[in-house]
Amino acid sequence: MADEDEDDDALAAEWEAMAGGDDEGGDDGGEDMAAEWESMLGDDDEDDAGDETAVSSGPSARVLNQDEIDSLLGFDDGSGAGDQSGIQAIINSSMVAYERLPMLEVVFDRLVRMMSTSLRNFTSDNVEVSLDNILSLRFGDYLNSIPLPAMLGVFKAEEWDNYGLLTVDSALIYSIVDVLLGGRRGTAAMRIEGRPYTTIERNLVERMIHVVLGDLSAAFDPLSPVTFRFERLETNPRFATIARHANAAIVAKLRIDMEDRGGRLELLIPYATLEPVRELLLQMFMGEKFGRDSIWENHLANELWQTHINLLAVLDEQVMSLGDVINLEVGNRLILNTSPTSPVEVRCGDVPLFKGMMGRKGDRIAIQVRDRARINEED
């Protein structure tokens, strides 16, 4: 035991001597290293003294917080669908915004007015249709955002040879079924989760889609005649793919209220479908009325009634050869096959207007109008 204690003491003394040597050498080495760093910093300070823009580094550099990172990447939850920023704005910069198609908003406004009347006749109830918003997004993003369960009606624009999509949410489905089958007012539509739609429900919703598509065709008629034909009804968005997921589309969100019931209806039209009438949709439109403008027509009619025209009173007409006309000389007489009581035709240019009798008023020859002249009597 004594030998072991002596060995421990000797080992401890040896470690102590080694540690002391390292501390002395370390102090010298630390002093040398500190001097070297000092000289380097001094040189850097002298070099940067004349620079006006000195870049700070180290702990003073600014670090972005999580909100700024989300805003940079465009993942800010508070921003709306149209207020994209950051990388998301760069990605979607190639998409065409619906504001560049001014006539499209006029068409949707016309659709809302027509649907209010047609759905009121269809349901025999007080129906109010309103347009929530119109937005532009990619087709794949829209399919992923559809709340299920829902019914998706695929329709085809015959003249444009392309397709569109009509989405009816579950609240509107059960409201339409409740209204058409005589449900009592004041009671919320019963919704049973986890079961597929029945044949009766699908048929009733399909009838409503036919009414909406008829109104949509009529809304586009003043711009370009088109027929929207119903193709099929789907409940799975994967089976309602009518365009590539990266393609841009217009989505119009409509709200249908039937007193204490109602729901949402969304209309999606890809830009490829609207391409044949893109030039028409790009034109600026002043006012809310299509086609004829009654104000301008009335103004034009009033101005026409005040227009001055030259009238010709034709006593008689004769057919002569060109040679006889050329051989006419001063003093020659033309015998008219008319008498003082013969009718005189009044013309404006080559158009006959009236028939009357020739007389005198004061020192001037006058025509008394008796009847209107018949145009193209042979027809």
pLDDT digits (tens, 9 = 90+) for 149-190: 888 999 999 888 899 999 998 888 888 888 888 766 655 555
Predicted local distance difference test score (pLDDT) of residue 297: 81
95-99, 151-155, 309-313: least confident range: 95-99
- Band of the pLDDT at 93, cuts 50, 70, 90? low
Structure tokens given for 62: 């600014």
Set out the domains of the chain in order of their start, with CATH numbers. Answer: 98-282 (3.40.1550.10), 308-372 (2.30.330.10)
Give the largest CA-CA distance in the chain.
Answer: 174
The residue among 15 and 214 whose pLDDT is bigger is: 214
Predicted confidence (pLDDT) per residue in 343-373, tens digit? 888 888 888 888 888 888 888 888 888 888 7
Task: Report yes or no: 237 and 152 within 8 Å, Cβ to Cβ.
Answer: yes
**In this predicted structure, what is the pLDDT of residue 212?**
92
Res. 207 pLDDT band, cuts 50 70 90: very high
d(CA 49, CA 334): 116
Confidence of residue 8 (pLDDT cuts 50, 70, 90): low
Comparing 169 with 337, the larger pLDDT belongs to: 169
Provide the percentage of residues in the chain whose pLDDT is more than 70. 69
Q: Using CA atoms, how far apart are residues 263 and 243, in angstroms rounded to an integer? A: 26
Q: Where are the beta strands (DSSP E) in the chain?
A: 128-138, 150-157, 162-169, 228-234, 248-258, 261-270, 312-314, 343-348, 351-361, 364-372
Residue 218 pLDDT more than 70?
yes
The answer, yes or no, to whether residue 249 has pLDDT greater than 60, is yes
* CA distance linking residue 266 with residue 212, whole number of Å: 11
Distances (CA, A) of 372 to 185, 275, 307, 340, 379: 64, 52, 20, 20, 17
Sheet holding 343-348, edge to edge: 312-314, 343-348, 351-361, 364-372
Quote the pLDDT of residue 361.
Answer: 84
44, pLDDT greater than 60: no
Q: Is residue 155 within 8 Å of residue 228, measured between CB atoms?
A: yes
| Predicted local confidence at residue 26, as pLDDT | 47
Q: Ranked by mean pLDDT, which of 57-66, 122-131, 209-218 comes out on top?
A: 209-218
Model pTM?
Answer: 0.52
pLDDT score for 49: 45
- What pLDDT does residue 79 have? 45
pLDDT at 11: 66
211: pLDDT confidence band, cut at 50, 70 and 90?
A: very high
pLDDT over 50 (residue 318): yes
- 225 pLDDT exceeds 70? yes
Q: What pLDDT, on the 0 to 100 scale, is given for residue 279?
A: 80
